[in-house]
């Protein structure tokens, strides 16, 4: 506080008067006329269930009575509810830090038009609820009263925050179309922020206005009198706006829609007060990595003596002598003896010794313990921080730790590296869950931290299904189905069987077949060999009605694509699959006894984007049998928006072709 007081007193020489210019709201909040109810679904989003008429925000720095500054964020919003599906827009949540943030001036009103008259219903203070999310965050919730189809709702509030590091971000785009959105920030020169924008929509950026502004900061005196310190500097007014903003809904194969929502964010980079040395607040990857390795909640215990683990290390190593064998045994021990309680965690809430004793912890705690145990066995292991696919992208240039939510381990032996995650019971050594493949990540270590790229494009799932079908006589066909799925699908199968059981798993396979189909002699191979894919095996049998003149038979059986995964007419953000894939289905079958082939689908081969993918459908008939092969291959996981139409058409062709049937006709 003394240093801050000296800094503020040093600024007293800067005096001037100031005048502020503020962006004018496009809507007069608190005033609704009958004409305002004429708002309909806009032409650019005709299927909308609600329309945001105006969304206006502003952030301003003010001096406080604690010897520093407070950030005041004002937010006003008006929405027209078009139908009952839009009622979800009438529930609002405000997330706050439990200590250091508060909301005041909250007003929420529902307007209904009754017999040509606007009727107001105000939100009662008792209808505002506060829930604690964790020890750091709480959420203030409310739902608008007297809600009807056609209602107009609006709210306004001011949020006061002492957390200047994260200047309030602004999201222009949501699941509802918006007619106008505007955000203004009055930014003093002595607080310098990095501005990050994202989204495919063009922002309107008004020319900035610079003005001299006087701040009044009260420095507490404790036992002495409080001291008022005047602070003056340039303040730059920034205004960003958008009009006619379409809704953004999450389509299939999207990591998280938050990566593509049009928004603007800020990160405090430095203090730059007049007459003072600039103070870096963001740091760089070297300083951040050094700080993490010294932190008690992250890396301080990774290279300590940790003698408390000596006895259990003997069981973990299990007599292995070679470095790789030691590493595999230690990994398996941690994976099989520890339970993960939180799969979204960046740091330790408990010391590693406590995690070691309790045999449970968050993903960060379990994997940091794994790294400490590997180091204790004199192996080279380092933590890797990343953001899971559903959490959003990290930023490669700026060390924004709030973007990270996951920790895994990297092991290096003789220049070969393995990545490990011991938090999942079905993941093998040297594998990571598919959620980890989200691009940029960082190896944190003493010295310069290394960027790495865990890209979904580098992952390839290969699946092979083979089916043999023969005649048993009396119209009965029987066969054997053998499937070897890819590694990630195998992990999913292990999880399903663990959560239920093998019998229940095969019930889901049975349900995919027609009712007259019977599955028996089912088994799963390699279920406990976590480094390997599983094998799915079962017998199949069905009986044809011998009186039927025609039999329709789909050679894909219960496999293949039943519907196009890409249904939207257009897509403005990338397609993000978890991996590339290569799926092959092979069928060898005898022609049903007493029948001949009347119609056979045509063989075909198509390619996708030249060499990025392919689909082949090959079928031939001989005297008494049919050989069939279907293969679909996509060599990468991520596709640009401009590839979407081609990708949709490709899968539409696959769905249509895989639905074609062989027609068997009864012999005369």
Number of CB atoms found within 10 A of residue 537's CB: 15
54/29 Cα distance (integer angstroms): 9
* Tokens encoding 228: 């008022």
459 vs 207, 316, 487, 616, 630, CA distance in Å?
46, 30, 10, 22, 22
Question: What pLDDT score was predicted for residue 73?
Answer: 97
371/190 Cα distance (integer angstroms): 41
- CA atoms lying within 13 Å on the CB side of residue 58: 16
Through-space distance between the first and last CA atoms of the chain, rounded to whole angstroms? 100
* Mean pLDDT along residues 85-102: 95
Query: Which residue from 26, 73, 86 is spatially nearest to 170, judged by alpha carbons?
Result: 73
135/133 Cα distance (integer angstroms): 7
409/420 Cα distance (integer angstroms): 5
Label residue 354 by pLDDT band (50, 70, 90): very high
Residue ranges, CATH 2.60.120.1130, the chain: 460-666
Query: Which residue from 594, 604, 605, 591 is spatially nearest to 662, judged by alpha carbons?
Result: 591
464/536 Cα distance (integer angstroms): 11
* Tokens encoding 82: 């078009």
Label residue 7 by pLDDT band (50, 70, 90): very low
Which residue has tokens 């049009």?
A: 262
Residue ranges, CATH 3.10.620.30, the chain: 285-454
* Mean pLDDT along residues 170-179: 96
103/448 Cα distance (integer angstroms): 42
* Strand ordering across the sheet containing 450-454: 416-420, 406-413, 380-386, 439-443, 450-454
551/439 Cα distance (integer angstroms): 50
* Mean pLDDT along residues 506-510: 94
How many whole angstroms from its chain centre is CA 534? Answer: 28
Question: Does the pLDDT of residue 100 top 60, yes or no?
Answer: yes
Number of CB atoms found within 10 A of residue 379's CB: 17
User: Are the CB atoms for 442 and 450 separated by under 8 Å?
Assistant: yes
Question: Does the pLDDT of residue 21 top 80, yes or no?
Answer: no
Which residue has tokens 């602070």?
A: 231
Q: What is the 3-state secondary structure (H, E, C) of 49-84?
A: CEEEEEEEEEEEEEECCCCCEEEEEEEEEEEEECCH
User: Are the CB atoms for 170 and 183 separated by under 8 Å?
Assistant: yes
User: Are the CB atoms for 173 and 263 separated by under 8 Å?
Assistant: yes
DSSP state of 140: E
* Mean pLDDT along residues 41-57: 96
45 vs 244, 293, 441, CA distance in Å?
9, 50, 37
* Mean pLDDT along residues 327-352: 96
Residue pLDDT, tens place only, 241-270: 999 999 998 899 999 999 999 999 999 999
Question: What pLDDT score was predicted for residue 224?
Answer: 80
* Tokens encoding 131: 């829930």
User: Are the CB atoms for 53 and 39 separated by under 8 Å?
Assistant: yes
More confident residue, 205 or 16: 205
Label residue 25 by pLDDT band (50, 70, 90): very low
Label residue 514 by pLDDT band (50, 70, 90): confident
Least confident of 2-16, 20-34, 148-162: 2-16
Number of CB atoms found within 10 A of residue 60's CB: 20
533/463 Cα distance (integer angstroms): 10
* Mean pLDDT along residues 579-603: 96
* Mean pLDDT along residues 331-358: 96
Q: Could you tell me which residues come within 8 angstroms of residue 212 by beta carbon, excluding any fewer than 6 positions away?
A: 16, 17, 18, 232, 233, 234, 235
Question: 9: helix, coil or strand?
Answer: helix
Question: Does the pLDDT of residue 428 top 90, yes or no?
Answer: yes
Q: What is the dihedral of CA 504, 507, 512, 513, to 10 degrees?
A: 160
Label residue 17 by pLDDT band (50, 70, 90): very low
Question: In CATH terms, is domain 285-454 a member of 3.40.50.2300?
Answer: no
Question: Does the pLDDT of residue 502 top 60, yes or no?
Answer: yes
CATH of domain 2-28+42-280: 2.60.40.3140
Mean pLDDT value across the chain: 92
Helix (H) or strand (E) run with residue 503 in it: helix 502-511
- Assessment of whether the complete model's pTM goes beyond 0.85: yes
**Helix H segments across 304-440?**
310-317, 323-337, 352-358, 363-376
Least confident of 13-22, 105-114, 343-352: 13-22
User: Are the CB atoms for 148 and 241 separated by under 8 Å?
Assistant: no
Question: What pLDDT score was predicted for residue 5?
Answer: 44
Question: Does the pLDDT of residue 583 top 70, yes or no?
Answer: yes
User: Are the CB atoms for 153 and 108 separated by under 8 Å?
Assistant: yes
* Mean pLDDT along residues 640-658: 97
Question: What pLDDT score was predicted for residue 26?
Answer: 57
Q: What is the total residue count of the chain?
A: 668
Residue ranges, CATH 2.60.40.3140, the chain: 2-28+42-280
User: Are the CB atoms for 633 and 584 separated by under 8 Å?
Assistant: no
526/535 Cα distance (integer angstroms): 7
Question: What pLDDT score was predicted for residue 135?
Answer: 82
* Mean pLDDT along residues 140-153: 97
187/166 Cα distance (integer angstroms): 13
* Tokens encoding 416: 């070969």
Residue pLDDT, tens place only, 292-325: 999 999 999 999 999 999 999 999 999 999 999 9
Cβ burial of 310 (10 Å; 0-12, 13-18, 19+) is exposed
**Helix H segments across 199-346?**
285-294, 310-317, 323-337
Angle, alpha carbons 631-633-636 (nearest 5°): 170
Label residue 491 by pLDDT band (50, 70, 90): very high
At the topology level of CATH, where does 460-666 sit? Jelly Rolls (2.60.120)
């Amino acid at each position: 506080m003394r240093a801050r007081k000296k800094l503020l007193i040093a600024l007293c020489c800067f005096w001037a008067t100031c005048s502020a210019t503020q962006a004018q709201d496009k809507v007069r909040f608190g005033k609704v006329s009958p004409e305002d109810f004429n708002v309909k679904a806009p032409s650019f989003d005709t299927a909308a269930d609600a329309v945001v008429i105006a969304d206006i925000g502003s952030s301003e720095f003010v001096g406080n009575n604690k010897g520093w500054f407070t950030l005041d964020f004002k937010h006003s919003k008006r929405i027209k509810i078009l139908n009952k599906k839009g009622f979800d827009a009438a529930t609002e949540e405000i997330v706050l830090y439990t200590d250091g943030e508060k909301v005041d001036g909250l007003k929420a009103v529902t307007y209904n038009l009754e017999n040509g008259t606007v009727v107001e219903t105000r939100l009662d203070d008792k209808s505002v609820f506060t829930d604690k999310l964790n020890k750091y965050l709480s959420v203030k919730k409310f739902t608008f009263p007297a809600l009807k189809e056609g209602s107009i709702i609006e709210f306004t509030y001011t949020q006061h925050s002492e957390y200047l590091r994260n200047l309030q971000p602004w999201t222009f785009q949501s699941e509802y179309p918006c007619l106008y959105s505007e955000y203004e920030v009055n930014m003093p020169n002595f607080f310098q922020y990095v501005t990050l924008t994202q989204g495919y929509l063009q922002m309107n950026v008004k020319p900035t206005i610079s003005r001299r502004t006087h701040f009044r900061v009260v420095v507490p005196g404790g036992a002495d009198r409080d001291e008022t310190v005047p602070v003056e500097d340039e303040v730059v007014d920034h205004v960003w706006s958008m009009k006619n903003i379409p809704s953004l809904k999450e389509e299939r194969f999207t990591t998280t829609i938050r990566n593509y929502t049009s928004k603007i964010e800020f990160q405090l980079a430095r203090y730059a007060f007049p007459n003072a040395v600039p103070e870096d607040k963001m740091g760089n990857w070297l300083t951040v990595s050094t700080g993490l390795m010294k932190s008690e909640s992250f890396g301080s215990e990774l290279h300590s003596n940790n003698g408390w683990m000596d006895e259990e290390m003997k069981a973990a190593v299990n007599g292995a002598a070679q470095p790789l064998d030691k590493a595999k045994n230690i990994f398996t021990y941690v994976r099989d003896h520890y339970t993960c309680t939180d799969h979204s965690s960046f740091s330790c809430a408990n010391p590693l010794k406590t995690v070691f004793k309790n045999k449970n912890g968050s993903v960060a705690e379990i994997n940091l313990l794994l790294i400490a145990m590997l180091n204790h066995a004199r192996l080279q292991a380092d933590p890797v921080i990343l953001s899971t696919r559903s959490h959003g992208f990290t930023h490669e240039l700026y060390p924004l730790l709030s973007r990270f939510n996951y920790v895994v381990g990297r092991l290096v032996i003789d220049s070969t590296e393995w990545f490990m995650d011991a938090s999942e019971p079905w993941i093998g050594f040297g594998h990571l869950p598919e959620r980890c493949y989200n691009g940029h990540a960082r190896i944190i270590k003493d010295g310069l931290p290394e960027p790495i790229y865990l890209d979904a494009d580098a992952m390839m799932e290969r699946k092979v299904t083979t089916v043999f079908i023969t005649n048993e006589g009396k119209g009965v066909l029987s066969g054997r189905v053998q499937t070897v799925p890819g590694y990630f699908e195998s992990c999913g199968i292990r999880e399903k069987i663990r959560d239920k059981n093998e019998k229940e798993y095969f019930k889901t396979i049975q349900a995919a077949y027609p009712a007259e189909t019977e599955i028996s002699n089912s088994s799963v191979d390699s279920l406990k060999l976590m480094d390997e894919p599983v094998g799915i095996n079962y017998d199949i049998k069905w009986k044809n009605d011998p009186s039927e003149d025609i039999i329709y038979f789909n050679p894909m059986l219960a496999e293949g694509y039943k519907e196009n995964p890409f249904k939207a007419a257009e897509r403005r953000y990338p397609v993000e699959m978890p991996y590339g894939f290569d799926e092959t289905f092979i069928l060898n079958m005898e022609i049903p006894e007493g029948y001949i082939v009347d119609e056979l689908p045509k063989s075909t081969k198509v390619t996708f984007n030249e060499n990025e993918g392919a689909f082949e459908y090959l079928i031939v008939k001989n005297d008494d049998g049919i050989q069939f092969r279907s293969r679909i291959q996509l060599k990468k996981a991520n596709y640009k928006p401009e590839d979407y139409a081609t990708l949709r058409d490709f899968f539409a062709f696959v769905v249509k072709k895989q639905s074609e049937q062989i027609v068997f006709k009864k012999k005369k």
